[in-house]
Amino acid sequence: MKLILHYIRKHLGIFLISTLFLTMEAMADLFQPAFMSMIVDRGIRNADVKQILFYGVCMLGIAMTGAVCAVMRNRFASRVSQTIGKELRRDMYHNVQLLSMENIDRLRPASIITRITNDVVQVQEFINGIMRIMVKAPITCIGAIILILVQTPRQAPVMAGILATASVLILGNMRIGYPRFGTVQKKLDRLNGVTREFLSSVRVVKAFHAEEKEGEKFEDVSLEFARANTAALRTMAVFSPLISLTVNFGVVLLLWISASSHGTEIGRLMASVNYMTQVLFAMGMISNTLNVAVRATASSERIKEVLEEKPAQHIPANPVKPEIRGEICLEHVSFAYAGSGKMALHDINIRIHQGETIGIIGSTGSGKSTLVNLIPRFYDATEGKVWIDGCDVTETDVRLLRTAVAVVPQKALLFSGTIRENLRWGSEGASDEELYRAADVACAADFIGQSPQGYDTLLGQGGVNLSGGQKQRLSLARALVRNPQILILDDCTSALDAQTESDVLKGLRDMAGRATVLLVSQRISTVMRTDRILCMDNGSVQGYGTHKELMDSCKTYQEIYHSQIGGRDHG
């Protein structure tokens, strides 16, 4: 809630103007019955058409004013709520861009997406709602009560009684209903979770013939959700009619008291009855905002988490801006992923010269990807330092660093847009010739040429779906367009068949020229031809040298070699 208030404060001016119009709107609503009573008491009773017309025109005038106020209120309120929504989204998105991968891993991308999309909508609706309900309802309530007292002063005790009872009921409704609606929300999350899980692993479910078990699981969760819903709705079922009953009995009492005294004007009585109705409506609105409030609170908590997430990485105040040539040095580097006690890298000391091609091999989980992720600062070393051309990466300008380093990740990710646009990610100013050349080296030119639109083929949403191997080749071409000083290939040719892979690597060697290349792979045949090979196991360096050296000295390397090539001697 604090968060919402904070954003409202930014638009306090418009918010107040809108509240002002709202107040006037509520007042107009309140004065209408007063004129109605005049029409009856002064006009109809005395059969005075002139009076009726006079008060009728007054009433219409007030109704018009009310309508104008309502329209204005709506204009301002919509502007405030939508602008706040926009700002919330913008601020969240901005903060997410600043976060490091460590933060993003922790918050989980899917969760961040729902927060930016769904949760903001919830908060927006709530803000729109509070203007209409939370502000208008009390004004109407209080105004109506004052007017009843003015019109028929002897109703004070009755009014007090009704108000007290209704307040108790509304409070009770909130006390009991709030946690129940909270439970509904939790059960809903679970239901969605189970559904999503089923859909994403349907192949396994079928292969293990576990459809029935999954069905039971789903039924259980669905039943729990239904029960939670029932419990929450029952709270409303009890309290809502009770509140109506209280106010309606107020009407009866009001008539009763008027009857026991003489000289009550019928019109005034009608007006009072009308006011009671307005009170009732206002109270009903308040108690009905309950679940909206629950949802908005939950949503604003989740939004706050994103907004308050501090980037895990230190951003240097005066970054060094060296000319990056491609010499890399890791000094006593250790690394552990946040929240995991296990060291993913352990005391790594290596030096990579400019222009060298280094193969990195090791078993799954040995830390190959983790190691290369430290170079463009996707993550920061827990201990030790990573130097590039003699500059500590944590003190280097991140933009400069990442412009000099091109990464081809394991999972090829492309974005909606044309193939050309995707390749231009590498370098905004790249000429078409450069794009074609990169695509050629990455063995992507063929399949691009085969598609009717060529480089203007649309990818992603509503566009063409590529195979895994095609995506990998485009992802590689995108990195090559960058013409980087350091090129990191993180096991990015896994979906290519051996022939294509070897073609790609051959072309790469010609094109990369003086760039430093880090080639992560699980295939020994891929790394064997590099200048030097870094062999890793369990987060530590097992060997670092040429194929020949490692075959002589490194046991882990020999093991990998024999497991893939077999006992025969090729080298």
Please give the C-alpha separations between residue 464 and each of 448, 451, 453, 470, 497, in angstroms, as whole numbers.
11, 10, 11, 12, 22
Please give the C-alpha separations between residue 468 and each of 233, 457, 492, 540, in angstroms, as whole numbers.
49, 17, 11, 31
- 70 binding another protein? (CB under 8 A): yes
| Least distance in angstroms from the C-beta of 233 to another protein | 4
Per CB under 8 A, which of residues 192..221 are in contact with another protein?
Answer: 192-193, 195-215, 218-219
* Nearest residue (CB) to another protein, 331 versus 559: 559
* Nearest residue (CB) to another protein, 20 versus 331: 20
* Nearest residue (CB) to another protein, 256 versus 332: 256
- 251 binding another protein? (CB under 8 A): yes
Per CB under 8 A, which of residues 405..444 are in contact with another protein?
Answer: 405-407, 409, 413, 415-416, 425-426
DSSP state of 464: B
Could you give the string, one character per residue 376-395, with x where binding to another protein holds by CB under 8 A and - elsewhere?
x-x-----------------
- Contact window for another protein (CB under 8 A) among 167-175, 443-451, 511-519, 563-571: 563-571
- Contact window for another protein (CB under 8 A) among 78-86, 140-148, 317-325, 384-392: 78-86
| Least distance in angstroms from the C-beta of 348 to another protein | 18
Q: Say if residues 173 and 290 touch (Cβ distance below 8 Å).
A: yes
Q: Is the dihedral of CA 72, 74, 76, 79 positive or negative?
A: negative
- 507 binding another protein? (CB under 8 A): no
- 533 binding another protein? (CB under 8 A): no
DSSP run (H or E) holding 492? none
Q: Say if residues 433 and 483 touch (Cβ distance below 8 Å).
A: no
Per CB under 8 A, the list member of 71, 150, 171, 464 interacting with another protein is 71
Q: How far apart are CA 419 and CA 416, in angstroms?
A: 9
- Contact window for another protein (CB under 8 A) among 40-48, 381-389, 437-445, 512-520: 40-48
Q: How far apart are CA 337 and CA 245, in angstroms?
A: 60
Per CB under 8 A, which of residues 347..376 are in contact with another protein?
Answer: 362-366, 376
Q: Which amino acid is at 425?
A: W
| Least distance in angstroms from the C-beta of 214 to another protein | 6
Residues 6+ apart with CB under 8 A from 496: 443, 469, 472, 473, 504
Per CB under 8 A, the list member of 138, 146, 156, 230 interacting with another protein is 230
| Least distance in angstroms from the C-beta of 474 to another protein | 12
Written as one string, the DSSP assignment of 227-238 is HHHHHHHHHHHH
- 109 binding another protein? (CB under 8 A): yes
DSSP state of 568: S
Q: HEC states along 353-417?
A: CCCCEEEEEECCCCCHHHHHHCCCCCCCCCEEEEEECCEEHHHECHHHHHHHEEEECCCCCCCCE
- Contact window for another protein (CB under 8 A) among 164-172, 250-258, 432-440, 510-518: 250-258
Per CB under 8 A, the list member of 130, 162, 236, 360 interacting with another protein is 236
Q: Count residues near another protein (CB under 8 A).
A: 176
- Provide the β-strand partners of residue 383: 334
Strands 343-352 and 328-336: antiparallel
- 36 binding another protein? (CB under 8 A): yes
Per CB under 8 A, the list member of 14, 52, 307, 350 interacting with another protein is 52
- 528 binding another protein? (CB under 8 A): yes
Q: Say if residues 140 and 122 touch (Cβ distance below 8 Å).
A: no
Annotate 340-352 with b (16+ C-beta within 10 A) or e (fewer).
eeebbbbebebeb
Per CB under 8 A, which of residues 256..295 are in contact with another protein?
Answer: 256, 258-259, 262, 264, 266, 269-270, 273-274, 276-277, 280-281, 284-285, 288, 291-292, 295
* Nearest residue (CB) to another protein, 332 versus 498: 498
Residue 247 φ then ψ, to 5°: -70, -40
Q: What angle do CA 504, 508, 514 make, to 5 degrees?
A: 170
* Nearest residue (CB) to another protein, 326 versus 409: 409
3-state secondary structure of 358: strand
* Nearest residue (CB) to another protein, 143 versus 426: 426
* Nearest residue (CB) to another protein, 137 versus 445: 137
- 161 binding another protein? (CB under 8 A): no
Tokens (6 digits) for 325: 């040539």
- 9 binding another protein? (CB under 8 A): no
Q: Say if residues 264 and 301 touch (Cβ distance below 8 Å).
A: no
